[in-house]
Structure 1
Amino acid sequence: MNVTLPFLLFLLVTPAFAQPKPDLTTPYERSGGLQTATYPEIIDYYRRLDRQFEQAKLIEVGQTDVGKPLHLFLLAADQSFTARPNRVTLLINNGIHPGEPEGIDACMMLARDLLQANKLPKNVLLAIVPVFNVDGCLNRGVSRVNQNGPETYGFRGNARNLNLNRDFIKADAENTKAFQTMFQQLKPQVFIDNHTSDGADYQHVVTYFATQKDKLHPALSGYMTQTFQPALDKALAAGGFPTAPYVNNPKDKPESGLLGYNDSPRYSTGYAALFNCFGFTLETHMWKDYPARVKGSYAFDEAVLRLCERDAPTILANKQRADAAVTGQTTFALNYRLDRSRVDSVTFLGYEAAYKPSEVSGLQRLYYDRARPFTKRIPYLNHFVPDLQLTAPRGYVIPQGWREVIALLKRNGVRMQAFARDTLLPVSAYYLDEYKTAPRPYEGHYLHTGVKVRTETQRLPFYKGDYLILTNQPANRYLIETLEPQAQDSFFAWNFFDSILDQKEYFSDYIFEDTAAELLRNDPALRQKLADKRASDKVFAESANAQLEFIYKQTPYFEKTYNRYPVYRLEGGR
């Protein structure tokens, strides 16, 4: 090729780096704040950040129910993308409900801005889940009729129509299994789950609830409520986003009082708390315009990041103290309820609520009058007390046949060891004397509640490959909340052990009549128990089959495994 001198000189003097910079404008920004990014746009955007910046890395952490991978985006000033004990890990989750997409768009911009300005904190690993419910993100539409934008967005349910923010104990979804594996590898100290609210109208763009403080170790709860949250609220107010607690109230008017949120372990922040990670569920207000909600999400996530940077040594020390304390803890509280005798107050920016005739029904309907804003101190009830306290055993024994439960325990970082040989052990065995089962399914399960147990000491055979789980480990709270059947979100509550509730052997009355008669002749104590039962229960006294069954259950013929909970407590000192 013939090259002219002027062109050759141009090539020589033109800098090699004078290439057009990649366009890192997000789809949200290009739409003027009207649209949220689609799933392909989200992942493509993070890939471009990964390619351009050495401080960023996009990885796949598992699969989802829709068949697409679950991604994690990591930002580290020193380009070290693994969790370290001398660095805070902040985990931000987006799109658990993809119809509430503010966090998706806000985190895309936040990640870009931090990278471009070279303002990543050196003592924080920032981990962002671009979109958790990939399935729902792909199912795009306009399903949230009460929400003010964006134009289209994802759906709350995943590919199995599961609400993933109820899945953190049962882990039915592949999404959740991948999340749990990722969480246990990261071991974050602080967690954010980005959402949009439903419910009442008010002035606040940003509301949120923190991990329920009364469930946390005192080192965590004291720091979170007395230091971190006041600084967070102050920073957000200075940025134009005065905060309020998540508007959870039993009446139409928020000024009647707000209730704290009991985030049990089925929820993301409740799950995180089991591992001494305190967290926040951000709820931007559904009826504010979409750009305001995205800006509020950005401000919230950035403020939390900066506080993690500021207080990293304290956050790390508190987590270490809590882990050590839980490892040696012997008494645990379960099933928290609101203490209505303790009332605080918060400043709330609301609108006057009133009623007028409905154009649809002709009856009275609620409305909020934006022409009548108010600022008031309103009641806030946010103290919870346990319904149950129990002493942890020295360990648990679980037979290997309960593979789903064992897989969950392993995935969640529980240390366990398999028996090397068949073993005979004295254990405490629970029998499930009472429980109620919901009449309708909830997230694919018929939940058990109101569980009452009795305990028998038994000497039982366990076999090579069964598991011993000692309770001298940081995962103790997870163990207690899942393995004790009385717990609100235990594996028993979520139906993992329902096969033990079926009786497998029965009697034929015409044959057992003679056996029962002989038993009564030879056992005066049994004869007296039967007489007492007849005297106290008329219906029982008039039922021949009920009396035969009563005797049958007192005999060695009745199966010992019926209603016997198949996770056994190994008692004694640690």
Structure 2
Amino acid sequence: MKSRFLRLFSAGWAVSQLVSSAVMAQSNASMLTPFEHNSNQTATYAQIISWYQQLDRQYEQAKLVEIGKTDIGKPLHLFLVSADKQFTSRPDRVTLLINNGIHPGEPEGIDACMMLARDLLRANKLPKNVLLAIVPVYNVDGCLNRGVSRVNQNGPESYGFRGNARNLNLNRDYIKAEAENTRSFQSMYQSLKPQVFIDNHTSDGADYQHVLTYFSTQKDKLHPAVSGYMVQTFMPELDKRLTAQGFPPAPYVNNFSDTPESGLLGFNDSPRYSTGYAALFNCLGFTLETHMWKAYPDRVKASYVFDEAVLRLCEQDAQTILANKQQADKAVREQTTFPLSYKLDRTKTDSITFLGYAAAYKPSEVSGLKRLYYDRAKPFTKRIPYLNTFVVDAQVDKPGAYVIPQAWAEVIAHLKRNGVQLQGLTNDTTMAVSAYYVTDFKSAQRPFEGHYVHTGVKVRTEPQSIQFYKGDYLVKTNQAANRFIVETLEPQGVDSFFAWNFFDSILDQKEYFSDYIFEDTAADIVKKNPALRKQLDEKRAADKAFAENADAQLDFIYRQTPYYEKTHNRYPVYRVN
């Protein structure tokens, strides 16, 4: 069943009716976006920046600023809208951050926000208690690489590319921060400290009636003060407003099997993703996903409606949103146990109303084999299962502090850029610490975003006395950034710095032995150490392959000697209690 908006639009609504008729009645052609001139076009990079520069010149309540570099050499911009012409975050108002074009082949948010910013300024309908911050286009690199790369997408005629200048997917880069774009974004984010965040996208996958789907920051990862308000108040009201505007929403279609009607799964947005990164700082995050096969004007309108509805809810509930985040920040400072990974709880099932199309199978004209298709002549409305409860899979008690040697400058720079307070040691000093040794991990067979990501990390802990030097860093865990600190510095974390290969050099052994010489040394060692001889015999008895491998037995003895380097597999971030 088509929404009222879609029926009217297909009956011949003019493009100008995508925005307020009162605003468009002014008929100022110079203030029409490229999309409004041609509804199957999205703005180019030059047009986007020129548009916001024009708004900056025209309105005192608007300001376009350069916030850093991108990998392609162009600046990253931020557009700020403030009723009182004050363009910094303040504790008495909500900051809403909207990100566009992280995947420039999904450009609806770019065009929608251009119109939304103009309409708010022209109609002078700016919320007094909300600072609106818009990233006009985040992946500038991909935006400049214009073409038709998304084969399954219904318009616009041309658009940007998913990867950036280094062929990185920026929505997997929020922890490793390899792209200049990401580093600029992180610095901006920590300056703004938003309470609410939107990332505008376009979905792919199954076909269904909904123009608009979205997912929020995974509710079970947020502090209860933030999560409870989001689930019980903010999202129900948001869904009500979207439905009233002709866009009944559904959760992002992450389905059980081939088709959505089998049921949907909540999205586990780890910190590598934009909303997962925002969650580390107690921020409400929303990833909007308009449907790729709906007409482009419908998708732009849906993005406009979604972003405006979130803005108005921020205006309506500003004091509650501020109070919830302040409560969560305080609690995280004092929190003692932190989750490192989550898993779906399949014992808890909810249900949602879903507007779908009947799925069926027929022979493929290409392969002759069975292929899936969706029959738009057979729409349905039904309740389907929805699994969206996640439970902690691994957790850790925080230490009083971490110590990081200054040699790991890239990690230190990441921590500083993300608002972590570090204290430099003023003197050389020996400290009693708990050291991790990495005992096991798995690595991908092929690179993912340029990395052989580590999973299944196991460690053992050993108390040690270690020499540190002036200029090394102490990271105390009494900060609002505690979640970022723990989830990146604990090696078992799903998106830890260790997982992303920042510390791989510790996995290399630097000194070895010459077996023909060490044979005599090893024999002498086991003669003088009956306990070690016993361990060797027991291991040979229990492990046939070991018993038949002379080199493995020499290595076993070598690792018990003072010659074996203590730094091999020793994780170089130390816990201090």
Q: TM over 0.5, yes or no?
A: yes
Q: Which residue of 2 aligns with 1:8?
A: none
CA distance in 2, matches of 1:399, 1:423: 12
Instruction: Report which of the two structures shows the higher radius of gyration computed on alpha carbons.
Output: 1
Matched to 2:244, the amino acid is: A
Letter matched to residue 68 of structure 1: K
1:29 aligns with 2:32: no
Residue 347 (1) aligns with residue 347 (2): no
Structure 2 CA distance for partners of 1:498 and 1:562, relative to 1, 3 Å: same
AA partner of residue 24 (structure 1): M
Partner of 1:68: 74
| 2:503 alignment partner AA | F
Give the Å deviation of 1:21. Answer: 6.6
Looking at structure 1, the residues matched to 388 and 336 of structure 2 have their Cα atoms a distance apart, in angstroms, of 26
Deviation at 1:46, TM superposition (A): 0.2
**Partner residue, 2:12:** none
Letter in 2 for 1:349: L
Structure 1 match to 2:516: 510
TM-score, normalization: structure 2?
0.95
Q: After TM superposition, give the deviation of residue 364 of structure 1 in Å.
A: 1.2
* Equivalent residue, structure 2, for 1:382: 388
The two structures, once aligned, show a CA RMSD in angstroms of 0.8
Question: Helix, strand or coil: the match of 1:548?
Answer: helix
> SS at the partner of 1:66?
coil
Cα deviation 1:119-153 (Å, max 9, x = unaligned): 01000000000000000000000010100000000
Cα deviation code 1:82-105 (max 9, x no counterpart): 000111000000000000000000
Corresponding position of 2:60: 54
User: 1:60-459 residue pairs with structure 2 within 5 A?
Assistant: 60-459=66-465
Aligned-partner residue type, residue 565 of structure 1: Y
Distance in structure 1 (CA, Å) of the matches to 2:375 and 2:158: 28
Separation (CA, whole Å) in 1 of partners of 2:169 and 2:384: 32
Give the counterpart letter for 2:63 in structure 1.
Answer: K
Whole-Å Cα distance in 1 between the matches of residues 213 and 29 of structure 2? 35
Q: C-alpha distance in 1, partners of 2:283/2:548?
A: 58
1:10 corresponds to: none
Structure 1 residue 23: Cα displacement: 1.5
Aligned residue identity for 1:166 = R
What SS is found at the alignment partner of 1:376?
Answer: strand
C-alpha distance after superposition, 1:360-406 (max 9, x if no partner): 11111111111110000000000001111210000000000000000
Corresponding residue for residue 3 of structure 2: none
Deviation per CA, 1:318-369, whole angstroms, max 9, x where unpaired? 0000000000100111211111110000000000000111111111111111
SS of residue matched to 2:31 = coil
SS of equivalent residue, structure 1 residue 23: helix
> Partners in 2 of 1:500 and 1:203 — Cα distance?
52
The separation in 1 between residues aligned to 2:460 and 2:177, in whole angstroms, is 29
Letter of the 1:308 counterpart: C
Name segments (4+ residues, structure 1) moved above 3 Å: none
Distance in 1 between the 2:319 and 2:384 partners?
Answer: 35
Shift of 1:268: 0.2
Cα distance in structure 2, aligned partners of 1:262 and 1:365: 29
- 1:250 to partner: Cα distance: 3.1
The 10-residue stretch of structure 1 (331-340 or 493-502) with the greater mean CA deviation from structure 2:
331-340
Q: Which 10-residue stretch deviates more, 357-366 or 131-140?
A: 357-366
CA distance in 2, matches of 1:286, 1:542: 60
Counterpart Cα distance in 1 of 2:168 and 2:35: 27
Q: In structure 2, what is the Cα distance between the partners aligned to 1:544 and 1:378?
A: 60
Whichever residue aligns with residue 383 of structure 2, its letter is: R
Structure 2: gaps spanning 5 or more residues: 1-26
Work out the CA distance in 2 between the residues paired with 1:34 and 1:414.
44
- Could you tell me which amino acid in structure 2 is paired with residue 459 of structure 1? S
How far did 1:511 drift? 1.3
Query: Take 1:182 and 1:29, find their aligned partners in 2: how far apart are those partners?
Result: 30
Local SS of the residue matching 2:187: helix
Unpaired runs of 5+ in structure 1? 1-19
Letter paired with 1:175 = N
In 2, Cα distance between the equivalents of 1:162 and 1:546?
A: 41
The one-letter code sitting in structure 2 at the alignment partner of 1:270 is: G
**SS in structure 1 of the partner of residue 204 of structure 2:** coil
What displacement does 1:175 show? Answer: 0.2
Q: Secondary structure at the match of 1:347?
A: strand
Deviation at 1:524, TM superposition (A): 0.8
The counterpart of 1:541, out of the listed 528, 547, 551, is: 547
SS at 1:241 equivalent:
coil
Measure, in 1, the Cα distance between the counterparts of 2:465 and 2:366.
68
Question: Matches of 1:180 and 1:389 in 2, distance apart?
Answer: 25
Which residue, out of 556, 562, 571, partners 1:556? 562
Q: Find the aligned partners of 1:490 and 1:278 in 2 and give their Cα distance.
A: 22
Cα deviations across residues 183-221 of structure 1 (Å, max 9, x unaligned)?
000000000000000000000001000000000000000
Which residue type is aligned with residue 378 of structure 1? Answer: I
- Find the aligned partners of 1:22 and 1:115 in 2 and give their Cα distance: 16
CA distance in 2, matches of 1:81, 1:569: 40
Q: CA deviation at 1:532?
A: 0.4
Over 3 Å counting, the alpha-carbon distance change for 1:77 and 1:22 in structure 2 is farther
Q: Secondary structure at the match of 1:547?
A: helix
